[in-house]
């Protein structure tokens, strides 16, 4: 995960902003990709890895806020930092409510920009990690056999082996065997871990 590229996407209709911003970020060791409009960026999707978006508010065609809305429908959403020369309160509120990291006014200070980018990348990283964990949990849970899944559903409710055997009309010994297979397949040691993984995957509802 650490090895995959960290990219800052710059979307601004002003070429000199794109150029200078990209230069500044590269001086800090970031990879950048520049887009002159929202449409161009959308055609580039999907994007793997960690990164963030520096987004201009006002652009011809799809503007910054509209792009933010469109991106929120994608699962691998990158954090967005708005960068505008003409921020007003209503658009700032709208952007932040829709999940933007922050709203910077041009010309902005280098520190503020880096702070925002760092925050965004942290979030991006966290999201990527979570997504990875979820993905893993799902894969593992999907590898269970139907009978094992049935056992798991009862185990996470806190039932003892005997109770599970009674519920499923199978021998307690058989339940024990299934539980062993489950912990092996999911790579966990305790029931608590099984519960967390199940929750993470969102596949099985816990009543």
Partner 1 sequence: MVRIKCIALLISLLIPFSGLMGQEAYKNILIFFGDNETRPAYGRIVEGIKSAFPKGSPTTVNVILEYLDLERFSDSIHLHQVVELYNKRVRASAIDLIVTVAPGAYDALNEAGLKLLHLVPVIALEMSPQDPERYRPEMRVVELEIEWSPQKSMMHAFSLFPGYRHAMIIGGCSDSDRMFNARLLKDTSYFKDTHQFTLLTCVSIDSILEVVSRVSDSTLIFMSSFITDADSNRFSSALALGLISSESPVPVFTMSDNFIDYGGVGGHIVSFLEVGKEVGEIARDMFENDTSNGLTKISKSYYRYQYNWKELRKWEILDSKVIPADSTFFYKDFNFLTQYRWQIIGVFMFILMQAVLIYFLIRLARRQKKVSLQKAENEKLYRRLVHEDRLTLMAQLTASLAHELNQPLAAILFNAQAGLRFLASGKLDDQQVEAILSGIVEDDKRAGDIISSVRNLMKKETREKERVDLVAVIKETIRILHLDMERQSIQVIFNDSSEPVYVFGDRIQLQQVFMNLILNAAFALSSKEDRPKQIYIKLSHSNSNIIVFFEDNGPGIDEAMRLKLFDAFVTTSEDGLGIGLAICKSIVQNHGGKIIAENRPEGGAVFSITLQAFTNGK
Considering beta carbons, is residue 28 or 162 the nearer one to partner 1?
A: 28
- Shortest distance in whole angstroms from residue 37 CB to partner 1: 12
Considering beta carbons, is residue 88 or 190 the nearer one to partner 1?
A: 88
Site size for partner 1 (CB under 8 A): 23
182-191 contact pairs (CB < 8 A, 24+): 182/144, 182/148, 182/151, 182/152, 182/155, 185/140, 185/143, 185/144, 185/148, 186/140, 186/141, 186/144, 187/140, 191/155, 191/156
Considering beta carbons, is residue 64 or 151 the nearer one to partner 1?
A: 64
Distance from the Cα of residue 51 to its chain's centroid = 11
Asked if residues 13 and 37 have their Cβ atoms less than 8 Å apart, the reply is yes
* Residue 32 found at the interface with partner 1 (CB under 8 A): no
**Binding segment (CB under 8 A) for partner 1, from list 52-60, 140-148, 174-182, 190-198:** 52-60
Question: For the CA atoms of the chain, what is the radius of gyration?
Answer: 23
Considering only 34, 52, 53, 59, the residue that binds partner 1 (CB under 8 A) is 59
**Binding segment (CB under 8 A) for partner 1, from list 23-31, 34-42, 153-161, 193-201:** 23-31
- Among positions 84-123, residues that touch partner 1 (CB under 8 A) are 84-86, 105-108, 110
* Residue 202 found at the interface with partner 1 (CB under 8 A): no
Considering only 6, 24, 154, 159, the residue that binds partner 1 (CB under 8 A) is 24
Ranges of H-type helices in the chain: 15-27, 38-44, 64-71, 89-97, 110-142, 146-155, 161-168, 172-186, 191-201
Query: Would you give the DSSP letter of residue 78?
Result: P
Considering beta carbons, is residue 118 or 129 the nearer one to partner 1?
A: 118
Considering only 31, 36, 42, 63, the residue that binds partner 1 (CB under 8 A) is 63
Tell me how far apart the alpha carbons of residues 18 and 14 are, in angstroms, rounded to a whole number. Answer: 6
Beta bridge partners of 7: 31, 51
What is the binding site for partner 1 (CB under 8 A)? 14, 16-17, 19-21, 23-24, 26-28, 58-60, 63, 84-86, 105-108, 110
């Amino acid at each position: 995960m650490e090895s995959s590229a960290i990219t800052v996407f710059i979307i601004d209709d002003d070429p000199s902003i794109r150029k200078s911003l990209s230069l500044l970020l590269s001086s800090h060791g970031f990879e950048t990709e520049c887009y002159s409009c929202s449409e161009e960026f959308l055609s580039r999707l999907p994007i793997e890895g960690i990164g963030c978006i520096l987004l201009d508010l006002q652009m011809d065609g799809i503007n910054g806020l509209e792009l933010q809305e469109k991106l929120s429908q994608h699962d691998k959403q990158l954090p967005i930092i708005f960068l505008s020369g003409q921020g007003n309160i209503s658009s700032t509120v709208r952007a932040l409510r829709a999940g933007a990291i922050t709203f910077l006014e041009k010309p902005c200070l280098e520190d503020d920009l880096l702070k925002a980018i760092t925050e965004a990348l942290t979030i991006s990283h966290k999201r990527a990690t979570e997504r990875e964990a979820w993905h893993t949990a799902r894969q593992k849970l999907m590898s269970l056999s139907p009978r094992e899944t049935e056992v798991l559903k009862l185990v996470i409710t806190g039932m003892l082996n005997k109770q599970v055997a009674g519920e499923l009309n199978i021998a307690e010994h058989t339940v024990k065997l299934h539980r062993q297979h489950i912990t092996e397949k999911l790579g966990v040691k305790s029931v608590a871990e099984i519960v967390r993984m199940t929750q993470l995957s969102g596949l099985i509802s816990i009543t």
